[in-house]
Chains A and B, each alone.
Chain A
Amino acid sequence: MKSFEMYHPLVLFYYFMTVIGMAMFFMHPIYLVLTFMEAVLLNFLLLRHGFWKKLMMYIPLFFIMAIINPLISHNGELVILYVNDNAVTMEAICYGMAMALMILAVIIWFNSYNGVMTSDKFLYLFGKLSPVLALTISITMRLVPRFKHQIHIITQAQKTIGMDYTSGSVWERIKCVTRILSILITWALENAIETADSMKARGYGLPERSTFSLFVFEKRDGWLLGVITLLAGISVAGSFLGYTTFYFYPTFSEMEWSLTSVGFYSVYAVLLAIPIVIEIKENIKWRYLRSTI
């Protein structure tokens, strides 16, 4: 059961771009931890079993990124030790870790994005903005598997006349591969002209064309769009008021725990939790409905 992805593509795209943009922008530790935790949680809900494998890949990445910064940046006041007369400071280490956390959060958010925004949704949205480009992208996407299939056919045909790219010297193999590619391109270009002519014959470029899509903008999409805009607006306002700024250099700025700042933190947390809440809610509903059968 995946229910967040059942929302309208516009809502999904808007949500992910807002959240990813904010994740890149807010370097405050609390904001970073929030966005990282909720990115991980959502990704886990969406991927389940595939998630742990991916996580294993991210852990070394985190440490590599965290180590690089103290090696190149020697700012900061809390010096831990000196390496070749260069200070390794607490601030630089923390900044490196914060940076690494931010990058990982963005990568994990994008991971969820890739799962939820399938190519048809992306092209549907993009097609409204730039129809020609969206058409070109969708033709390209269709051609890729077609070419792979055709390469297979050409390779087999070439084998029967002795042009086998799996045997012989390197030079002969290269010659075979080049030949296969050359044949593929001849075929592809000729095919392209035929497709183009048939598109034209069917009236491509005439006015009043319509496109088919399965996506309907429902009431709940409107509601969610409103909620996202409201929460994101509050977070951005908080950013303008300085609640999301945090200085690592020359030394750490103070962490704020006033009522307003906690308010801003929780608004951000709620914004990030939207898909998680939807997923869990629908999951419970599904379990409940199934158990009553």
Chain B
Amino acid sequence: MQKSDNKRLRLIISTLVIFVIIPIVLYAGVVYLNDRKYYFISVVIVLLACVPLFIKFERRKPQPREILIIAVMAAISVAGRMIFVVVPGFKPVAAITIITGIYLGAEAGFLTGALSAIVSNIFFGQGPWTPFQMFMWGMIGFLAGVLGKTGVMEKKVALILFGVFAGGLFSFGMDVWGVISFSGIFSWEAYVAALGTALPFTIIYAVSNVIFLLLLAKPIGEKLKRIKIKYNILQ
């Protein structure tokens, strides 16, 4: 009983950090450093946003088994990104992150997404976009984990909806970065214009997410569930 209370508290804290504290920091950055330094501030803030969950993982002193499972999931999504490199936008990264989140929990989902971004950019080249990708993919995995707890993600409809949602979230999030870097400030006019031009990509993201989720959720999910029960990890 005590243990599950503890776990719930942890989930509440990390949810609070992500949905309350980060927006406040963002707002403060925009208001108090209002000197058209959006580009710099946005990179720093997004990087900071990833820190709490990384610290949590570090502090927990995870077992080698947990480390390896997360590394395996991240490596599969990176290998997938490399295999599909010729088709722009059509990537299994988000789908594998979502599946990890659903079956192994919010923290594992976040780490898989964020690590996929870091590692794939080690192969493809780091840039100011790395923190944004880390944050967006991490967030998608985290949300999938939170929803996965409720059991609703076992249904196909929920999976499809979440795939579309994740595609939109990734595209909308990366467009914020795009607008900030193209015009130095954030304006809704430019944001809407960017969303319009990125629409084909948004659709590809959403469609590829749904396809990969429908194909992979069952086979990967069953294996993750089995390994979780058999070796008692990431409970």
A residues lining the B interface (CB < 8 Å): 20-21, 24-25, 27, 65, 68-69, 72-73, 95-96, 99, 102-103, 106-107, 110-111, 113-114, 119, 122, 130-133, 135-137, 139-141, 143-144, 146-148, 151, 174, 178, 181-182, 184-186, 188-189, 191-193, 195-197, 199-200, 204-205, 245
Contact = CB atoms under 8 A, between A and B. Distances in A.
B183 A188 contact: no
Nearest to B39: A24
Interface of B: 35-37, 39-40, 43, 54, 57-58, 61-65, 67-72, 74-76, 78-79, 82-83, 111, 115, 118-119, 122-123, 125-128, 181-184, 187, 189-190, 193, 215-216, 219-220, 223-224, 227, 231
A68 B76 contact: no
B36 A130 contact: no
A178 B219 CA distance: 9
Contact of A103 (B35, B123, B125, B181): B181
Contact of A192 (B36, B43, B65): B65
B219 A182 contact: yes
A205 B64 contact: yes
Contact of B111 (A20, A136, A188): A136
Nearest to A99: B184
Given A133-B54, A144-B75, A181-B216, A24 B183 contact: no
B128 to A, nearest CB: 6
Contacts of B182: 65, 68-69, 99, 103
Nearest to B187: A72
Given A68-B190, A193-B231, A200-B64, 7 more contacts: A99-B181, A106-B128, A132-B58, A140-B78, A186-B223, A191-B72, A192-B68
Given A110-B128, A186-B223, A189-B223, A136 B75 contact: no
22 contacts: A72-B183, A72-B190, A72-B193, A114-B125, A133-B54, A136-B67, A136-B71, A139-B71, A140-B71, A140-B78, A144-B75, A144-B123, A147-B75, A147-B76, A151-B83, A178-B215, A185-B219, A189-B72, A192-B72, A193-B231, A195-B64, A196-B65
Contacts, number: 154
B157 to A, nearest CB: 20
A20 B54 CA distance: 24
A25 B223 contact: no
Given A144-B75, A188-B76, A137 B128 contact: no
A11 B13 CA distance: 36
Given A69-B183, A148-B79, A139 B68 contact: yes
Contacts of A24: 37, 39-40, 43, 128
